[in-house]
Chains A and B, each alone.
Chain A
Amino acid sequence: MIELRNLEKRYDNPLTGLPFYAVKDLSLAFPSGEITALLGPSGCGKTTTLRMINRLIEPTAGQILVEGENAQSLKPEALRRRIGYVIQQIGLFPHLTVAQNVATVPDLLGQPKARTRERVRELLGLVGLEPGQFETKRPSELSGGQQQRVGVARALAADPPVLLMDEPFGALDPLARDKLQEAFREIQHNLKKTIVMVTHDIDEALKLGDKVALLNAGELAQFGTPDDLVRRPVSEFVRQFLGEDALLRQLAGVRAGALARAGDGSGLPQVSASLNARSALSVMLRERAEAVAVTGEDGQISGVLSFHDLERT
Chain B
Amino acid sequence: MNSRPLAGAVGEHLSPALSSAARFSPDLQLVLWLGAAPMLAACWLPWVLLRPNRLAAGEFLRLPPLDIGLGLLAALATALAGRFLPRAVPLLASFALSLGAWWLGSRSGAAVQGQAEFARASVSSGVWLWLLGAAMTVYGAGLVGRRLGGAQPYLAWLWLPAVVLMALIGHFASWSVVAEYRVQHDRFFQELGRHLYLILVALGLATLIGAPLAVWASRNARVSGVVLGVAGGVQTVPSLALLGLLIAPLSALANAVPALRAVGVSGIGVAPALTAMTLYALLPVLRNGVVALRGVLPGVLDAARGMGMTDNQRFWRVQLPLALPVWLSGIRQAAVMLVGVASVAQLIGAGGLGYFIFSGLQSGAADLILLGALPAALLAIVLDILLRGLETLLGRRLGRA
Contact = CB atoms under 8 A, between A and B. Distances in A.
B308 A105 contact: yes
B308 A94 contact: no
Say which size band chain B's interface belongs to.
Answer: 20 to 34
A169 interface: no
Given A96-B399, A139-B399, A143-B2, A91 B303 contact: yes
Nearest to B317: A93
Given A93-B300, A138-B399, A85 B310 contact: no
Given A92-B303, A94-B300, A96-B399, A77 B1 contact: no
Contacts of A88: 299
Contact of A108 (B299, B300, B309): B309
Interface string B309-352: 11001000010011000000000000000000000000000000
Contacts of B306: 54, 56, 80, 85, 87, 91, 164
Given A56-B302, A95-B322, A105 B398 contact: no
Interface in B211-269: none
Residue of B307, B310, B398, B400 ringed by the most chain A CB atoms within 10 A:
B307
A164 B305 CA distance: 13
B1 A104 contact: no
Contacts of A32: none
Contacts of B304: 91, 93
A285 interface: no
A89 interface: yes
Contact of B309 (A77, A79, A139): A77
Nearest to B397: A95
A135 B318 CA distance: 19
Interface in B271-325: 297, 299-300, 302-310, 313, 318, 321-322
Nearest to B4: A141
Given A87-B302, A89-B297, A94 B400 contact: yes
Contacts of A139: 399
Contacts of B313: 108
Interface residues of A, number: 32
Interface in A104-134: 104-105, 108
Interface string B369-394: 00000000000000000000000000
B322 A94 contact: yes
Which DSSP category, helix, strand, loop or mixed, fits chain B's interface? helix
A95 B400 CA distance: 7
A96 B322 CA distance: 10
Interface string A72-105: 0000111111100101111111111000000011
A275 B216 CA distance: 57
Contacts of A42: none
Contacts of A91: 297, 299-300, 302-304, 306
Nearest to A146: B1
Given A94-B400, A95-B322, A95-B400, A105 B303 contact: no
A175 to B, nearest CB: 11
A105 B300 contact: no
A128 to B, nearest CB: 14
Nearest to A90: B299
A77 B308 CA distance: 4
Contacts of A79: 308
A89 B309 CA distance: 18
A176 B80 CA distance: 53
A104 B299 contact: no
Contacts of A81: 307-308
Nearest to A157: B307
Given A108-B307, A143-B2, A146-B1, A95 B302 contact: no
Please list the 9 inter-chain residue pairs (A to B) with the smallest Cβ-Cβ separation, ordered nearest first.
A91-B303, A89-B299, A80-B308, A81-B308, A85-B306, A95-B398, A95-B399, A143-B1, A94-B399
Interface of B: 1-2, 297, 299-300, 302-310, 313, 318, 321-322, 397-400
6 contacts: A54-B306, A77-B310, A81-B308, A91-B304, A95-B398, A104-B307
